[in-house]
């Protein structure tokens, strides 16, 4: 992986990780544009630079993470469904991760959902607290995001809105839930590929990639919350459909797209 590829991928990761537009779908297109064939390190790289994105959430919401033990308990409850189901379905998940068409279809279907989600869940509950029931339901929505192209952010925010949460409250809890989820995935990938991290300049690439992902994600989260509060999900839905359709068109033209 070149320095140029590493920087571009880190920027794309930071921009898309917390937006409801699927970072995986954007990585596929980015790899195709760069003409970069994924190897063992690049596959580890795109997962491990999530550490930088996680750090942006911790910095922005630092006080919330030191509020009380109950906060962590609710995160654990929400994290549990994906952890358990992911453990037992790891082989199936790995198999569908190899399908770019699955990503494209998920982008389009998810885009249609986002176009109408503001109307479906327009009524909000005066009580915006997140109890065990709400946390668990949001956790099961996160399981849907195991299908590549769905977007973890989109699934969990929609899950929160289905429980009467406002767009902002649902989005913020989605960010909080990303910390244990993404940390677990990143740590697992790091352990799997620790031998190649120290080869050549891979470690330097990884460090710089995390720094870039952190800075970009920091800006993206702030902008996303502001935009989402004012305008809702419709534009994100339209955008997802365009990206998904683009991938389908490229595949129909015989252009080879690879999973990063």
Q: What is the pLDDT of residues 110-154, one digit of tens each?
A: 999 999 998 999 888 888 889 999 999 999 999 998 888 888 899
Q: How confident is the model at residue 98 (pLDDT cuts 50, 70, 90)?
A: low
Q: How many domains does the chain have?
A: 1
Burial status of residue 211 (CB atoms within 10 A of its CB: 0-12, 13-18, 19 or more): middle
Q: Is residue 180 part of a domain?
A: yes
Q: How confident is the model at residue 96 (pLDDT cuts 50, 70, 90)?
A: low
Q: Does residue 81 carry a pLDDT above 80? A: yes
Supply the range of the domain harboring residue 88: 3-252
Average the pLDDT over each of 114-123, 183-192, 232-241, 242-251 and give the range with the smallest value. 183-192
Q: Is residue 248 part of a domain?
A: yes
Instruction: Provide the pLDDT for residue 236.
Output: 94
Q: Is residue 173 part of a domain?
A: yes
Q: How confident is the model at residue 259 (pLDDT cuts 50, 70, 90)?
A: low
Q: Does residue 95 carry a pLDDT above 70? A: no
Q: Is residue 258 part of a domain?
A: no
Q: Is residue 260 part of a domain?
A: no
Q: Does residue 188 carry a pLDDT above 80? A: no
Q: Is residue 227 part of a domain?
A: yes
Q: How confident is the model at residue 209 (pLDDT cuts 50, 70, 90)?
A: very high
Q: Does residue 14 carry a pLDDT above 80? A: yes
Q: Is residue 239 part of a domain?
A: yes
Supply the pTM of this predicted model: 0.85
Q: Is residue 90 part of a domain?
A: yes
């Amino acid at each position: 992986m070149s320095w140029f590829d590493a920087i571009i991928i880190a920027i794309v990761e930071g921009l898309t990780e917390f937006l409801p537009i699927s970072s995986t779908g954007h990585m596929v297109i980015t790899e195709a544009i760069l003409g970069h064939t994924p190897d063992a390190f690049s596959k580890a790289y795109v997962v491990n630079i999530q550490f930088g994105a996680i750090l942006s959430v911790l910095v922005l919401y630092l006080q919330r993470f030191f509020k009380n033990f109950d906060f962590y308990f609710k995160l654990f409850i929400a994290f549990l469904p994906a952890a358990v189901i992911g453990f037992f379905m790891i082989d199936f998940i790995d198999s569908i991760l190899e399908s770019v068409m699955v990503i494209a279809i998920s982008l389009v279907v998810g885009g249609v959902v986002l176009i109408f989600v503001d109307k479906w869940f327009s009524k909000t509950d005066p009580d915006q607290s997140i109890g065990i029931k709400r946390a668990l339901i949001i956790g099961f929505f996160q399981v849907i995001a195991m299908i590549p192209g769905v977007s973890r952010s989109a699934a969990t925010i929609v899950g929160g809105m289905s429980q009467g949460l406002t767009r902002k409250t649902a989005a913020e809890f989605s960010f909080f839930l990303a910390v244990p989820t993404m940390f677990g995935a990143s740590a697992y990938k790091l352990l799997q590929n620790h031998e190649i991290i120290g080869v050549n300049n891979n470690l330097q690439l990884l460090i710089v990639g995390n720094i870039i992902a952190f800075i970009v994600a920091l800006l993206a989260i702030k902008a996303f919350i502001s935009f989402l509060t004012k305008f809702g999900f419709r534009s994100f839905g339209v955008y997802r459909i365009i990206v998904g359709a683009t991938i389908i068109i490229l595949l129909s033209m015989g252009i080879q797209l690879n999973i990063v």
